[in-house]
Amino acid sequence: MIIYGIPNCNTVKKARTWLADQGFSPLFHDFKKQGITAEKLEEWCTAFGWEKVLNKKGTTWKKLSPEQQNSVVDTQTAVQILLNHTSAIKRPVVEIEGKAVLIGFDEAAYETILK
């Protein structure tokens, strides 16, 4: 299991705490420090939809210019923005055996998928 995110993100902290409390010990991938590939972002967009992978509620998205925001119309344009602004990726993303299974943190979804 790998959990992708940023260590100081409150949602990531909640997810990591929940996982630890349930006995999981996932690897942690900090995409601010370790980066993220276009291929990985495309996989997540296929799994969840680009609209969900792109966090439009966050500060990073809100700081983008209207032109940048309006340029995002599909997976390819979302991936380009996310490569340049990794903080706009909804987090965390949890993968099991290389397959993305969860995005964000919703305890009920975690219980359903991981138990």
Active-site annotation holds for 9: yes
Q: For the segment 95-104, what is each residue's pLDDT rounded down to a tens digit?
A: 999 999 999 9
- Tokens, residue 101: 């299974």
Candidate list 2, 6, 9, 114, residue with the active-site label: 9
Global pTM reads: 0.94
Nearest CA-CA partner of 77 in 45, 104, 36, 103? 45
- Does pLDDT of 79 surpass 90? yes
pLDDT score of 115: 84
Q: Name the residue range of residue 94's domain.
A: 2-114
Report the 10 Å Cβ neighbour count for 94. Answer: 25
Q: For the segment 5-64, what is each residue's pLDDT rounded down to a tens digit?
A: 999 999 999 999 999 999 999 999 999 999 999 999 999 999 999 999 999 999 999 999
Kind and range of the H or E run holding 10: helix 10-21
Count of domains for the chain: 1
CATH number at residue 11: 3.40.30.10
